[in-house]
Structures are given as C-alpha cells and as structure tokens.
A and B are shown apart, each in its own frame.
Chain A
Amino acid sequence: MSGTHGTPKTASGDTGQDRERDAALAAVTRTARELIPEAGVITDHMRLRTYECDGLAHYKVTPGLVVIPETPEQLAGVIGACAEHRLPYVARGSGTGLSGGALPRADGVLVVTSRMRAIREIRREDQRAVVEPGVINLDVTKAATPHGYYYAPDPSSQQICSIGGNLAENSGGAHCLKYGFTSNHVVGAELVAPDGSVVQLGGTAPDSPGYDLLGAVVGSEGTLGIATAVTVRLVRLPEEVRTLLVGFKTTDQAGAATSAIISAGIVPAAIEMMDALAIEAAEAAVHCNYPADAGAVLVIELDGAAVEVEGEYTKVERLCNEHNAFEIRVARDPVDRALIWKGRKSAFAAVGRISPDYIVQDGVIPRTALPEVLKAIADLSTESGVRVANVFHAGDGNLHPLVLFDDSVEGAGEAAEKVSGAILDLCIGHGGSITGEHGVGIDKAAYMPRMFTDEDLDTMQLIRCAFDPVGISNPGKIFPTPRLCGEVPGRHKGAHPLQEAGLAEVF
C-alpha cells in the first residue's frame, strides 16, 4: 500500500499567512478544549497521523487538529469557531470513503462524528428513525428489525460506514436499483452550516415547503455543512427474499441475462455481477464457494410479497437458463443468503489477497452499453498488461473495476492510473458518470471538467456560495477550481489539498 504523504508544513512559503493560520488553529483548539472533553481533542502528532486518510489510502494529509464531539452543540461550537477564524474544516464519519472526501487539511480541523452514535428514535408507526451521524448504517437496520422494518440503502461497507458519511456521499449499495439511494431515504436533517448556525432541513413529514435544500445537501460531500441528526425513512421488511447465485461462462452472457430480466419488466431488488478475477479474490478471502469455473456470476435478489416473488422467480430462472446459465443456486436460509452476499460485499478488500495494490473505480454507464464497455476494459487490460477485476451493479450500470498492480514494480502505479483514467473516459464517452456512489472527493475532481462544462460547474458552485461563501467547509473537494463567491474577493486562502498531499504543484 503506497501513497504520497504530505507533512503539515506550509506550502505557500508566505510566513505572514502561516502565522495567521497557526493563530487561527490555536484559537479553534482553545475553543474545542472548552467545549469537548479532553479525550476528544487530539493534538498529539502520532495520533493526528492515524487520521490522515480515509478508505482511500492513496492520499494522506495530517490534520492540524482532530476533534471528536459528543453532542451537536459541541460540534456546532467548533464550526462556529472555525467560521470566526476562517479555519477550514473537514468532516469524517468512519473514514471508509473511497474518494478521499475525508482527506484532512493540514491547516484545518478534522471533525470526527464517531462518538455521535446514538439511535435516538425508532418510530414504527411513522416509518421513521432519528439517528446521530456517527451511527453505523447496519446498526439502523439492526435496531429497526425487531419492529419489522429496515434501512434500505446498503453500501458494501455497511457494517462500518456511518449514516453521516452516507448522507455526504449519497451512498447507494446493491439494493439501490429497486429501493433508491440515500437521498431517497433521508427525509430530514439538522445541519450545522459552515457559519456555525444550526438549521433544520426537511423533517418527519415529506415535502417541506420551500427549496429542497436537503436534496442539495445529500451528496454534497461535506462541502455544505455537517449533519448532526438525521431522520430516515424505514422500509417494511419484505415478506419473502429470494437470493440466487447464477454461474455463467462469460460476462457477456451474464450481461445479456441481466438485460433480458430488466426488459421483462422485472425490477430485482439487486442484481450484481462479478467476473472471474473478482471471484477468485472473494473465494480466497471468505470462502464463499461460488460456482467453480464461472467466468461471471450474478447475485440476484428478488423480494416482496411471497406470491409476487414466486412469479418473478419463475421468469428469472427461465431467462437465466435461456442465456446460458450453467448453475443456479437458491439460498435455502438466511445463513446461505449471508454467505452469497459475503462474497460480493468483501470483494474490494478481498482483492488485497491477490494483488499488493489496487485502485477501485466507480464509473457508471448505461446498462445497455455493458457488454461493449466490459470488452473495452478487457482490451485495455490486455494492451497494458494491467489486470482488472470487475465487480458491479449490473442492474444500473455502476461498474467497480478493480485495477490491480504492484507498487514496488517500477512504473506499475502509473500504468494502473492510466488504465483507471481510461476507464473513466470510457464511461463519460458512453454518456455515463465518473462516480455512481463513491463520490468525487479529491480523487475525481480532475475529471469533473470532462463530464461537465464550465457553466455546469459554475452553476453547481452557486449552491456552494450560498452555503459557504467563505469557503471553509471541506474546501478543495469535488470542484477542481473553486468559484469566487462575490462576497469574499481575493486569492483563495490556504493550500489546495492536492498540493498538501504532495500530488500537485502550484505555479
């Protein structure tokens, strides 16, 4: 696992600015100490370093300060101090993000929500839950299950990723084809805005009058504020869930089967594909016992009323067979089901067993372009000699190519980056997206101009200017070039995170 490491020294060489920033950091640290118990204010260098990256270890920046507030008031107090001193801040949940969205600022504060982890309410009759941002995604479902409900968005990291992080990234997961994303399940949030004020967005009841600010905040990757309480929609547990593991010889066949199922008017709860290399990794990690010799597997899940599931299953089975499935396994009980999913959900981290290093991508393409794009990826792989394992949400065209390499080999890292970038270009070329669920963060900011025009980006940044005119809320993420917000003329203060991370130069 490699990565460049930036140290918290100045990148601008302007000592006047340095002194200002140091003073600002010291002031905010003082405020933090007044508000937050000692264990939650971290200044020790060794400890600060453990926070220097999130799930994307490729980028590291040691934060100037880490705070772990326990209440919304403490959090708002710190943000208020940041606003007063114009100190940048970055929010972090469980630190499992895959786009560097929680990459800290060396001149700023990292606000960690992992101690704000109470489930405040489970309200069955309203189909709602109110949770703090540090609550782990799966824990919401665990708390709701005894009431016959669950929280539908299920990213593969759901046993550790936080609701606050999900909100920031608009996380998806395997079941979002049928059930939607975080933005369809978050109905309200108490938000600490970048000026330190606390504002209520949305609420228990739907359609709050006024602008759908919540809709803009979900997926804004921490650039518009920090949620300190989240109201989510709970979904009734289905009467029946049927999980299938289907083996094919090739990804083309699997893709064709997927298309046939969708065309038949069935919306499966989930339909995931893994190719041979990904299966190999998953097998090594969790011994999921996927069909031997499969060139591709589909994990298909159907859920709903039992009679409906039965009818859908009959069709799906027929369509799979018509498209050359050589094995169809149906989970007999929850243990079976869990094991089938274990293989898919461990796939990313499991690749660590078959390759020292890897890049995980998150491109989206129209589903009908799947066979073409998979072939193009295979060609890229052959030409460059860089192996690519494929795991993806077949139902909605969200690909997760895992580009494998060994960083200790000269040039391997660069070759992998090239392939990775080429795959993103493929996605854009087919009218897709550079990110389906991991977010832009720092990792894909450079690609935004390939997907959007200057006008497009400018329009989005109008929103940012409304929420954060000073530019302290997770600056440097999403947009490669920050927009000047009118009220705050002059040069953008502070070093750009890519600079801090030692990955870019400012000329």
Chain B
Amino acid sequence: MTAEKETAPLVDLGVPVPRGAFDEHRPPDAALVGDCVHCGFCLPTCPTYVLWGEEMDSPRGRIYLMKEGLEGEPMSDSMVSHWDACLGCMACVTSCPSGVQYDKLIESTRAQVERRHQRTAKDKVLRALIFSIFPHPRRLRLLRGPLRGMQRTGLDRLLRRTGLLDRVSPQLAAMERLAPRLGRAERLPEHLPASGPRRAVVGLLTGCVQGAFFPGVNAATARVLQAEGCDVVVPPRQGCCGALSVHNGREAEALTYARALIEAFESSGVERVVVNAAGCGSTMKEYADLLADDPAYAERARAFQEKVRDVTEVLVELGPVAPRHPLEVSVAYQDACHLAHAQGVRSQPRELLGAIPGLELREIAEPELCCGSAGIYNILNPEPARELGDRKAGNIVATGARLLVTANPGCLMQVTAAIERSGHPMGMAHTIEVLDASINGTSLSGPPHKGD
C-alpha cells in the first residue's frame, strides 16, 4: 500500500488551498516559494539559525512553513512563532544563489498573519503601544521631555540597576535600555539652499525616531547636501514612511503612511528623495509594489520610488565637490541590514568614508550578521536581540577602532547599548555625521554617542 498523499502538490495550484493558512489577498507567492531549491546557503547568514540551530528558524525553514500553509496546513501558533522570530534582515536574500525573493515572501506572510492570526492579549497590547508611539514623530518628540528628565535625575540608571522594568516587562525594559541620551533639539527649516553652484534639488526625509532622537543626524545630512551643491527641501507635513508597519504586517496602516508620504513630497518638485535611515529607504523603494493594487496611487508610487536614494548613494552619484578635511580616526563601518542586504548599498558608504584623509576604515567580522535591532524586533524579542547585539558588539570592539559608524538609528541604539554592556566604550556616529565633520573641519565628539 503506498503512502497516502494528504495534500496536492504545490505546483499544481496557483492559489492557496482553502482552509489553509493563507487567504487569497496577497498570499506569499507560490512561484517565489518554488524558487527555493533547498540548498541551505541562507542558513549560516540567518541570525536566528546562528543562535538556535534549528530548521524552523531559518529562511529555508520559514519558506517551507509558507509552502505548508499554501498547501493547506492551518496557520498554527508554532508556524507564526517562527515567522515572528524572523528579523527581516534580508541577509538570506544576499546569500541565496537562486535569487529567492524572501523579502517579498515574508512581507506578504506577515500581513496575512496580522489579519488572520489571533495574538495573545499581552502581545496585542504591546504592539498597539509600540505602533501608537514610533510612527508618530510628534509623539516621539513629546517623549523627549520625560526621557531627558529620567536621564538627568538618574532614574534610568536606577531602573536598570533594580531590574524593576525587566520584571514588569522585558520588552519595556528593552525599550528603556535602547533609549539614547538626549541633548538639545533642532528643527530644520523648509528650504535650505546649496552652498555654491546648484547641482540638484533634493528632498529630505526627517523620519520618526531619527527626527525625534537624532535630529543632529538630519542637520548633518542637510549640511552635507548643501555643501555638495544641493538645494534641500524638507516638507513640513511629512510623516512616517510606514517601514515598521510594512515589516510587521500592518498592511492597511502601511498603505496610509505611504500615500501620505508620497503626497507630502510630490508637490515639492524634487529630483531625489534623500533618506538617511536604512530601514526607511528600503521600504520607500518598495512603494510601487506596495501600492500596485491602488489605481489612484500605483503610478505616483512608481514615480516617487524612482527618486528615492540613500544619502550615500546620492552623494556618490553626484560625485564629491566639497573639499574634505582630515579626520585622524580609525572607523569600524557596520553595514545596516536594510542598507546592505535590502538595498545593496555597500560600496558607497565605504567610498565616501575612505575618501576622507586620515580615516582608517576597518572591516567588522561577520558583517552579514544582523545586530539584532531589526526595527522593533529588539523590543518584541529582547533575548535573541540581546545575544545578537552582544555578538555584534564583540566583533566591533575586536576591530580596535575608535569610532563605530552605521546608517540606521535602530542599529545605532542597539549597538550602543550592547557596546556599553561590553565595557569597551567607543565613539558612535552616523556615516553622514562623519562626512559632515570632515567637510566642516570640525572634530567628532568622543564616546558615547549623544543624541541631540
């Protein structure tokens, strides 16, 4: 008697099997799932496989779970837990020789999970809390006061020492630990002219966490763009790009943010939309796909997407004109996952940093491995995030460099916390701040990074 086949093979069906994990609205694409040949090259670059060594928490395994879902297996807690555990770092996309578009697969899967899976009450509350704060620049700015207050009075250190917050909620404790030290706030004007002959008109995304907690980075970005001959337009009504929502399956919310952002920049007449946060840039480069089903926005999204550039991309595109002053400093450059893996931007930051006289660029071991920040992953999954953060910190400290440079506020916060835990304080800066210092002839601030 032959073994019975419970389910029809995937390849026979173009649509998901009813009663299975997924419904017909944008399920993970069966054809993309079929691209995976099960070779396993993605496993050693996957942070969760590196930590736990089990198939279900590897890209290959997660794709297999998607396949199971498409074939009719129900969306179980165990399935969801493994998708939730995915950092979305896209290291697997880089390492896959068959070109599997895992990014698209996990995004559609997360959206399905968000719609179709019952989360625990506790989980729902936490997520609601996060999404009521992070994508809202004004609310984040409101937090600055209390946060500064806590830091000034030392209440934050007290909280950490007593472990009180950990006992209430490890996730909240993680948030607290990640919060950067705050200084004075700055707001950018709407128009900033190029210094010298104008070469381009560019828009600047001020972002949420970046804008609220690291406005100095935005200020530095604007200055560098100006110095390289760009008129900088900062649309005042811009909001969140929707990256966190996209990466966590909150589809409707993401679309709302995307439409609003497109509108905010459309009328500004810029040639490029410049982004200095890796996570944001990667999502904005997906807007065409995101809004493909919306006839009112599909074309506009495509037009918008074509203008999006990471700041290092646009600077290399334009070619440097502003003279660089020397910065005698050894730098460890950390590839933010959403810049390197998701956008393929690796050489540009290195080129720009390498062109600064006196600057010694050092490579970090295990560069493809995520630091554990991964958007809000470090808040939702503090334990693995902490392990990954410590691992990254160890690799960074081992370079012996004096300054860590990276391109994402999330990474910066995560790695700062980890390096402080390691007891080897280092200076930390955004790529653009280093360029800014070199162009202006100022020196870089010393250890630990000061949010402004």
Contact = CB atoms under 8 A, between A and B. Distances in A.
A3 B55 CA distance: 19
B6 interface: yes
B3 A500 contact: yes
B38 A285 contact: no
Contacts of B6: 7
B64 A49 contact: yes
Interface in A329-352: 346, 348-350, 352
A161 B2 CA distance: 33
B78 A7 contact: no
Interface string B20-60: 00000000000000111111110110000000111110000
Interface of B is mostly: loop
A321 B79 CA distance: 57
- Specify which of B2, B44, B61, B78 lies most central, judged by the most chain A CB atoms within 10 Å of its CB: B2
A57 B11 contact: no
B34 A50 contact: no
Interface string B52-88: 1111100001001100100001001011000000000
Interface in A25-54: 39, 42, 44-47, 49-51, 53-54
Nearest to B76: A46
Interface residues of A, number: 60
Contacts of A4: 5, 9
B99 A96 contact: no
Given A7-B4, A159-B41, A353-B99, A44 B54 contact: no
A50 B61 contact: yes
A114 B37 contact: no
A1 B38 contact: yes
B5 A46 contact: no
A1 B36 CA distance: 8
Contacts of B4: 7, 9
A356 B34 contact: yes
Given A49-B64, A68-B53, A94-B40, A501 B11 contact: no
Contact of B97 (A44, A96, A115, A349): A349
Contact of B38 (A12, A53, A500): A53
A427 to B, nearest CB: 24
Q: Which among B9, B11, B54 has the highest number of chain A CB atoms within 10 Å?
A: B54
A219 interface: no
Highest count of chain B CB atoms <10 Å: which of A6, A12, A95, A352: A352
A17 interface: no
Contacts of A160: 40-41, 43-44
A286 B97 CA distance: 7
B78 A502 contact: no
Contact of B40 (A9, A11, A55): A55
B169 interface: no
B365 to A, nearest CB: 9
B98 interface: yes
B34 A95 contact: no
A206 to B, nearest CB: 32
Most buried by A among B37, B40, B41, B78: B37
A505 interface: yes
Contact of A501 (B3, B97, B99): B3
Given A159-B44, A350-B97, A39 B5 contact: no
Given A96-B40, A502-B2, A44 B34 contact: no
20 contacts: A1-B38, A2-B9, A3-B9, A4-B9, A5-B7, A5-B9, A11-B2, A50-B64, A54-B38, A94-B43, A106-B3, A112-B55, A115-B53, A136-B44, A160-B44, A285-B99, A286-B97, A349-B41, A358-B37, A407-B11
Given A11-B3, A49-B73, 6 more contacts: A39-B52, A46-B78, A96-B39, A106-B3, A112-B54, A407-B11
| 10 closest Cβ pairs, A-B complex | A352-B98, A349-B97, A114-B53, A6-B3, A346-B97, A57-B38, A96-B40, A349-B39, A50-B61, A115-B53
Interface of A: 1-7, 9, 11-13, 39, 42, 44-47, 49-51, 53-57, 68, 94-96, 106, 112, 114-115, 117, 134, 136, 157, 159-161, 284-286, 346, 348-350, 352-353, 356, 358, 407-408, 499-502, 504-506
